[in-house]
Amino acid sequence: MLLSARGIGKHYGPVEVLRDVSLSVRAGEIRALCGENGAGKSTLVKIITGNQPADSGEITIDGVVATIRSPADAQKLGIALVSQELSLAPNLSVLDNIWLGNETVPLWHRRRALAERARAALDEVGLEGLRLDRQVGTLGIGRQQLVEVARMLTRDARILILDEPTATLSDVEIAHVFEALRRLRARGHAIIYITHRLGEVFEVCDSVSVLRNGALVGDAATGAIDRAGLISAMLGRELGELYPPPRAAPADGRPALSVRALAVPDMVHGIDFSARAGSLTCLAGQIGSGVTEALRALCGLNEAATGEFTIGGRRVPLRSVGRARAAGVRFISENRAGEGIFLRLTIAENLLCGQLRRFSRGGLLRRRAMRTIAGELAAAVAVRPARLDVVAADLSGGNQQKLAFGRIIDGAMPGVLLMNEPTRGVDVGARAEIYRLVRRFCDEGWCVVMASSDLEEVMGLADEVITLYRGRVVRQVGRAAVTMHGLLADITQQQAA
Amino acid sequence: MMALCRNAFARDLRPYTLLGIVIVIVGVIDHGTGFFFRGATLFSIMQIFATYGLVSLAVGLSLLVREFDISVAGMVSLAGAVAVLAGARDPWLGVGLALLVGLVGGAAQGLIITRLGLGSVGVTLGGLLSFQGLTYVLTGNQSISFDHVELALALNAPIGVVLSVRSMIVIAAFVLAAVVMQFSRVGRDILATGGDRRASTMAGVNTGGIVFGVFAASGLLCALSGVVLSYGLAAASPAALSDVLAPAAAGAIIGGVSVVGGRGRPAGIAAGVLVLCVLRSGLNAAGASADMLDIATGLVLLLIAVLDAPELARRLTEWRLHRRGA
Amino acid sequence: MTGALLRVTRAASPALLLRGGGGGALLIWALLTPGFLSRLSLLSMLSAISFVGCVTVGMGFITISGNIMSLALGATVSAASVVFMASLGAGLVPAVLIALLFGAAITAAQGVVVGYFRANAILVSIAALTLILGIAAHLTGGERIYPGGDGFAFFKGRIWMLPFETWLFAGCALAGQAILSFTRIGRDIIMTGSNREAARTVGVDVPIAVIAAYAIAGATSALAGILLAARYGSGDMDIGGGYEYRAIAAVLVGGIAIRGGAGSVLRGCAGVVVITVIEMVLRLRGYGEEWQYLITGLVLLGVVMAQSEGTRR
């Protein structure tokens, strides 16, 4: 075994995120690492790459116990990670990027001296035609990833860990990456390949390890397992308890929202769908499928969106947040720190931030009324009203997300609620609470549209599912007709086994 | 032809294109009297270059790593004062002490910024006022003269018609900076840090060290500039605060340095500063007042600030679609 | 009320204790300084506080909106003094209005570029500074501008013992605080400074909020220009030199966060008082103007460093 991790355990506070996990990979093997969001994949990778210490267990390289305390240690042992967030400087050339951060490069050097090895590494990953002076920012994501792999090769990496490299790639690019991986395997590299796309597991990997809730639940050669087996290993438990029971769709379920030919350059290519009031519609798709972009466009957050968007028959202008809001559209972002919550403002301020118009008379605010309403809103989303003056940064992720829900309630008629991955980074307990909130909005007559790449959540929650692939709608199906296999097949466009 | 034009105005070539244009314009204003191409004019251009060049380089370096050192003016006058005061006996002692002050002052700012995770504008604003205040205290709030007049004469004596020791020191500093940026790991790390700090850190670049080093270098360059200036004038004075920052920033920005970081070269900065110098000397020759130079500088700065702005493209798309009524 | 109380107790952090302790020490030091309580020094402090204070109120808006500072506000003060003096021929009220509008307009223009395109605020303000100085020098030829009319004599007088400019400054500060606390645009400015993207997603018109902050800054700077012009009986382009630095120092010393989205106008005013008192004490104790610059710079540096506590989170 080139790399072998045994009995790895890890706690974050009281939460056990990894429990006695073992993972090994041989030279010349590509091992898939699968699991749902939150199954512990990224924590395991962080431990192997020295970004986090393990609480228990040991890692051996070539049978020798290795201590990996820092990313530098991992680098010296020949372990390299290509994460989804690339570590390339977009303004520099391919050559400079390959040698960036490499401590063996002499302080003074001529670039030409380094060109030869860089060239060899690029050839090895299948980028024979790429010029060394090409600026990295002008390359597509796929080739950027390969440049990063080439960088790892120049650092003598023998164990490559690729974290969902194909999530944002086109078919041609994916083919390129696969070809490079096979070539690296043939040269005796060990590769750990993290992916959500089950088709890829069977296409390119030799073996697969499955994590669920922090434990290893499957370890098999890809020849010894089939797709259905892999899916049930990943999910394991029944959907249910977490999700509130769906309500029978209202008989008069009038279409509240309809979208025609919605397009965002390069991301969404003319999608049509409709959603009913009082029901929850999920837009399901992988990263890069256009789900997020479509949702943001409907909120007015994309300045290049075109198409027709109507609510209750009234046309809503695109490309303006203000006018979308006036038409009753509300948005909850997945990126809480970035654009969801005002971390440095108080709970009260966060709850009221989108509805100041209600409290203003000729531009002046009625502070007393604001105070009262803030208290009511806090109570409505189960945040303790006594904490109104606490800054949002002091709250947990789940409670922050509840604030985002609270600010939706603004006395307006039930409108359209758009949510992008509302439970990302939220622990299981708070998830259940958020799902109940979502359902309550539906019951009050809101038309809720949610974008999600978490298929379990989609299955558990949605009244209707619209699947997207590469910026186009694949299918719109009702709850009764939704199956995990069908969803997977739709969003990955690969035949279910 | 179009492609040629576009290339000529692409960021890397822009400073040289502008420099060419400015020279032609000034030549035309000149009415072919040949004034512009006289040695004396070129000499005066290089003297102006010597005054602003290093400060521009310092500001440019800080912009390269996506920071903004606005303390430069304070450091120039502080180092000038230190050099003149300490150099009364031995000018070399003055030089050494002034450079040390620059290095320590810059490094201190760099340390505060990287260790405390603070924005550079706030910290260097504090630095600016502190350096300036220190200068006032050292000089007793008045201009002090430097007794070694022969040194001033030597610094400013023409060498080969166009150059002087003063301008040659500045040119040497530019050459050194260009060599570091082109041929050393540090140069590449500086650009990478400015291009994407998170990615560079992940790739293994010591970005904190780079930022720290850039501020230390900026302090050193400003100190050198202050020494050369005050020795050349045989005087040091607590100069007004803002008159250095604007032309210095303008030189760097015209020189192709991007305020969003990671783009620009010392040679470009030199060309950018020269654009301003040629303009000034040309406007002088044409009898226009110095105000016109200020106005031109301000307009160019504003224009480039808009062109570099991250949301420019977004707004343009928005307006285009709005006009089409899509 | 309980909310306000909560806020105070929550803020009872080491930073606040430091600030309170520092303020107390400063007060004792000031009171122990002979001549500090004399009529002359109190009046001169009030005037100084008023002039810088007006600019500080405006600078506070820019800081809170998340754009740190405008280096052009000092030049705006000067330019407004010139405009005021030049337009006095049209009468006092029109002249005041013209000067205020002028200041608001040229500063709002910076806000347009910063708000709509998200251009680098510092760079834009340097460009504006250079343009204002250049154009003004071109138009005035560097001359001092004397009043084209009169009627501003009462500006130099006192009302109920206090200088006229102090009343105007107090009004300006209270109005600024009211805008920030009690109006929608004020909340929009705070939200924009706190998190520009979040503000956008909840429907705040971010460019308008930024432009408003800049326009207010321009107007209050112009007010300082008018007051200074009235006091000296003329307007010139040096009259507001350095005011931008004193104002930003006051803003930060008062505890307005440099990263934006937090703080109040009144805090900025407290900062002005602190800086002015330090300056007066130094002067009374025989330290020259040069020491005042140094102390201001060091205090500013210390205050900026003290703010890192909040950003490290």
Instruction: Give pLDDT, residue C10.
Output: 45
In chain B, where are the structural domains located? 15-305
Residues in a beta bridge with A310: A258, A315
Query: Is C296's CB within 8 Å of B129's CB?
Result: yes
Residues 386-445 (A) with a CB less than 8 A from some CB of C: 388-390, 393, 407
ipTM: 0.87
Number of separate helices (H) and strands (E) present in chain B: 15, 4
Residues in a beta bridge with A220: A208
Q: Which sign, positive or negative, has the C-alpha torsion A174, A176, A179, A185? A: negative
DSSP per residue, C120-170: -HHHHHHHHHHHHHHHHHHHHTT--B--SS---GGGGSEETTEEHHHHHHH
Residues of A with a Cβ under 8 Å from any B Cβ are 71-72, 75, 83, 85-92, 96-97, 99-103, 105-110, 151, 303-304, 306, 319
Residues 177-196 (B) with a CB less than 8 A from some CB of A: 183-186, 188-189, 191-192, 194-196
Amino acid sitting at position C274:
V
Q: Hey, what are B117's tokens?
A: 């995770």
Q: Residue B263 is nearest to which of A86, A91, A102, comparing CB atoms?
A: A91
- Residue B323's nearest CA partner among A319, A321, A309 is A319
Residue whose token pair is 């898939």:
A32
Query: Is B188's CB within 8 Å of A100's CB?
Result: yes
Measured CA to CA in angstroms, residue A326 lies from A410, A432, B326, C202, C210 at distances of 12, 30, 19, 11, 22
Contact between A71 and A161 under an 8 Å Cβ cutoff? The reply is no
Instruction: Give pLDDT, residue A489.
Output: 80
Domains assigned to chain C = 46-307 (1.10.3470)
Identify the closest residue of chain A to C3 by CA–CA distance. Answer: A389
Query: Is C297's CB within 8 Å of B129's CB?
Result: yes
What gap in Å lies between CA C312 and CA C304, rounded to an integer? 13
Query: Is C311's CB within 8 Å of B117's CB?
Result: yes
Question: Residue C284 burial (CB < 10 Å; 0-12/13-18/19+)?
Answer: middle
pLDDT digits (tens, 9 = 90+) for A345-393: 899 999 988 888 888 887 788 888 888 888 888 888 888 877 888 888 8
Q: Determine phi and psi for A219, rounding to 5 degrees.
A: -150, 105
Residues 6+ apart with CB under 8 A from A316: A309, A310, A323, A324, A327, A329
Instruction: Give pLDDT, residue A297.
Output: 93
Shortest distance between the Cα of B196 and any Cα of chain A, in A, equals 5
Domains assigned to chain A = 3-235 (3.40.50.300), 243-328+413-497 (3.40.50.300), 342-411 (no CATH)
Q: Hey, what are A126's tokens?
A: 């299948």
Contact between C193 and C62 under an 8 Å Cβ cutoff? The reply is no
* Pairing verdict, β A215-221 and B158-159: unpaired
Q: What is the mean pLDDT of chain C?
A: 87
DSSP state of B159: E
Amino acid sitting at position A210:
V
Q: Hey, what are B279's tokens?
A: 């303009």
Residue whose token pair is 């000397």:
B281
What gap in Å lies between CA B65 and CA A73, rounded to an integer? 28
**What is the three-state SS of chain A?**
CCEEEEEEEEEECCEEEEEEEEEEECCCCEEEEECCCCCCHHHHHHHHCCCCCCCEEEEEECCEEECCCCHHHHHHCCEEEECCCCCCCCCCEHHHHHHCCCCCCCCECCHHHHHHHHHHHHHHCCCCCCCCCCEHHHCCHHHHHHHHHHHHHHCCCCEEEEECCCCCCCHHHHHHHHHHHHHHHHCCCEEEEECCCHHHHHHHCCEEEEEECCEEEEEEEHHHCCHHHHHHHHHCCCCCCCCCCCCCCCCCCCEEEEEEEEEECCCEEEEEEEEECCCEEEEECCCCCCHHHHHHHHCCCCCCCEEEEEECCEECCCCCHHHHHHCCEEEECCCHHHHHCCCCCEHHHHHHCCCHHHHEECCEECHHHHHHHHHHHHHHCCCCHHHCCCEHHHCCHHHHHHHHHHCCCCCCCCCEEEEECCCCCCCHHHHHHHHHHHHHHHHCCCEEEEEECCHHHHHHHCCEEEEEECCEEEEEEEHHHCCHHHHHHHHHCCCCC
Measured CA to CA in angstroms, residue A266 lies from A304, A379, A471 at distances of 10, 43, 8
Instruction: Give pLDDT, residue C7.
Output: 46
Amino acid sitting at position C293:
Y
Per residue of chain A (497 residues), what is the pLDDT tens digit? Answer: 889 999 999 988 777 889 999 999 999 999 999 887 677 888 899 899 888 899 999 999 998 998 888 888 888 899 998 887 888 999 999 999 999 988 888 888 877 778 988 999 998 888 888 999 999 988 888 889 889 989 988 888 899 999 888 766 766 778 888 888 998 999 899 999 998 777 788 889 999 999 988 889 888 898 888 877 887 787 765 445 667 777 665 545 567 889 999 999 888 999 999 998 888 999 998 777 889 899 999 999 988 899 999 998 889 998 889 889 888 899 998 888 788 889 888 999 999 888 888 888 877 888 888 888 888 888 888 888 778 888 888 887 778 888 888 888 877 778 899 999 887 767 666 778 888 888 888 888 889 999 987 777 888 888 899 999 888 999 888 888 888 778 878 887 764 33
**Sheet with A306-311: strands ordered across:** A268-276, A255-264, A306-311, A314-315
Query: Is A340's CB within 8 Å of C201's CB?
Result: yes
What gap in Å lies between CA A384 and CA B54, rounded to an integer? 58
Identify the closest residue of chain B to C301 by CA–CA distance. Answer: B126
CATH architecture of B15-305: Orthogonal Bundle (1.10)
Question: Residue C167 burial (CB < 10 Å; 0-12/13-18/19+)?
Answer: middle
What gap in Å lies between CA B263 and CA A481, rounded to an integer? 54
- Residues of chain C neighbouring A301 (CB-CB closer than 8 A): 200-201
- Residues of chain A neighbouring B321 (CB-CB closer than 8 A): 303-304, 306, 319
Q: Tell me the three state secondary structure of residue B87.
A: coil
Query: Is B203's CB within 8 Å of A105's CB?
Result: no
DSSP state of C70: -
What does the angle CA A99 – CA A104 – CA A109 come to, to the nearest 5 degrees? 70
Residues 6+ apart with CB under 8 A from A64: none
Instruction: Give pLDDT, residue B107.
Output: 97
Per residue of chain B (326 residues), what is the pLDDT tens digit? Answer: 555 565 666 677 888 988 888 888 877 776 656 666 677 888 989 998 998 899 999 999 999 999 999 999 999 999 999 999 998 888 999 999 999 999 999 999 999 999 988 889 989 999 999 999 999 999 888 888 888 888 888 888 888 888 899 999 999 999 999 999 988 999 999 999 999 998 998 888 899 999 999 999 999 999 999 999 999 888 888 765 457 888 899 999 999 898 888 889 999 999 999 999 988 888 877 777 778 888 988 998 899 889 888 888 888 888 888 887 65
Residue C148: how many other CB atoms lie within 10 Å: 13
Residues belonging to chain A: 497
Ramachandran sector of residue A55 (left: φ over 0; alpha: ψ -120 to 50; beta: rest): alpha
Residue whose token pair is 């009625």:
A366
Q: Hey, what are A117's tokens?
A: 């090895």
**Sheet with A190-194: strands ordered across:** A64-66, A56-61, A3-12, A15-25, A215-221, A207-212, A30-34, A190-194, A159-163, A79-82
- Residues of chain B neighbouring A87 (CB-CB closer than 8 A): 198-203
Q: Determine phi and psi for A265, rounding to 5 degrees.
A: -50, 130
Query: Is B188's CB within 8 Å of A103's CB?
Result: no
What gap in Å lies between CA B17 and CA C174, rounded to an integer? 52
Query: Is A333's CB within 8 Å of C6's CB?
Result: no
pLDDT over 70 for what percent of chain C?
A: 93
Q: Hey, what are C98's tokens?
A: 């013209």
Amino acid sitting at position B106:
G
Residue whose token pair is 């809480």:
A336
Contact between A52 and A10 under an 8 Å Cβ cutoff? The reply is yes
Q: Which sign, positive or negative, has the C-alpha torsion B325, C206, A334, A352? A: negative
Q: Which sign, positive or negative, has the C-alpha torsion A438, A440, A443, A447? A: negative
Q: Which sign, positive or negative, has the C-alpha torsion B210, B213, B217, B223? A: positive
Instruction: Give pLDDT, residue A496.
Output: 39
* Pairing verdict, β A56-61 and A360-361: unpaired
Query: Is A85's CB within 8 Å of B185's CB?
Result: no
What gap in Å lies between CA C82 and CA C137, rounded to an integer? 11
- Residue A263's nearest CA partner among A313, A299, A298 is A298
Question: Residue A490 burial (CB < 10 Å; 0-12/13-18/19+)?
Answer: buried
Residue ranges in chain C whose pLDDT is less than 70: 1-16, 148-149, 309-313
Q: Residue B321 is nearest to which of A106, A109, A304, comparing CB atoms?
A: A304
